[in-house]
Amino acid sequence: MNDITSPAAIFTGSIPNHYDHYLGPMFFEEYAIEVSSRFDPSSVQLALELCSGTGRVTNHLRKALPASAKLVASDISPDMLAVAKEKLSAFHIDWQTIDFQQIPFDDNSVDLVVCCFGYMFAENKVKAFAEAFRVLQPGGTLILSTWDKLEYNEASHVFRKTVKKYFGDSLPETYKIPFSMHDPDAIKEQLHRAGFSKVKKEVVKKNAVCVSAKEATYGLVQGGSLYNEIIKRNPTWLGEIISIVESELSEKYGAAPMVAPMQAIICQAWK
């Protein structure tokens, strides 16, 4: 996963800090709380988080797990992990750089695997799921979340349709990835192919809340995967895109606070 569409290549430089500061509270915090409540802590002695990013889910997992349980939090992007490590330095967490398609754990060694908003980046979804299945103990659980269709994630939709107007027919691959894994039945089928016999899937609606449309816009533009593409194509677009997006977000979802619907798919699979 060293190509330009991998998280290691996308989430670098200034993006991780902007991502955590702006997008973290707006998009990821509510789902981090949700996912961290969906397992029995007493059954977990070793938990593995994949694609932990800047540590939003990691924070809630560590608090939910027993003090005696070991938590390994991993990502393929060192820059994202650096932000997470600094934020959560007071917690006992084993940080590792891991590609979820090649997990360096023994078979049947993990009680819980969690991956929030990461599997969209897997070139081979079944292979990635099969790796989680391999390392899980019999009876172990995989919990994952992915974004539903772009149009159901309305703040992101405003930003991305604006960018699309500027890029025209030359949209980068990074445009498609975040909202590309939105079919619950397809995810369930891939999990079955990977070996999981029992799968539960659910569409979970939340609100993306930000103190202002201005701050939401700044996060969307400078904290996401398309920022470097905009700068590479034409830096003068940046101000124009910010102006358009802020105006539309303010009009549709409020200037301060901004509250826009969002929607994700949460799946639980048991070995």
Name which residue leads in pLDDT, 139 or 222. 139
Mean pLDDT, range 245-265, rounded to an integer: 98
Mean pLDDT, range 208-215, rounded to an integer: 97
The percent of residues above 70 in pLDDT, for the chain, comes to 95
| Token pair 């919990």 in the structure block, residue | 143
Q: Is a pLDDT exceeding 50 seen at residue 135?
A: yes
Contact 228, 15 (CB under 8 A): yes
Cα-based distances in Å from 1 to 5, 82, 178? 8, 19, 16
Confidence of residue 13 (pLDDT cuts 50, 70, 90): low
Domains of the chain: 7-153+181-211+261-270 (3.40.50.150)
Contact 73, 95 (CB under 8 A): yes
Mean pLDDT, range 144-157, rounded to an integer: 98
Q: Is the dihedral of CA 57, 62, 63, 65 positive or negative?
A: positive
pLDDT of residue 7: 53
Name which residue leads in pLDDT, 11 or 174. 174
Cα-based distances in Å from 22 to 28, 111, 212? 10, 32, 11
Beta-strand relationship, 94-97 and 70-75: parallel
Element (H, E) at 9: helix 7-10
pLDDT of residue 157: 97
Nearest CA among 51, 59, 54 for reference residue 19: 54
Contact 44, 111 (CB under 8 A): yes
- pTM, two decimals, is 0.93
Q: Is the dihedral of CA 251, 263, 216, 257 positive or negative?
A: positive
Q: Is a pLDDT exceeding 90 seen at residue 15?
A: no
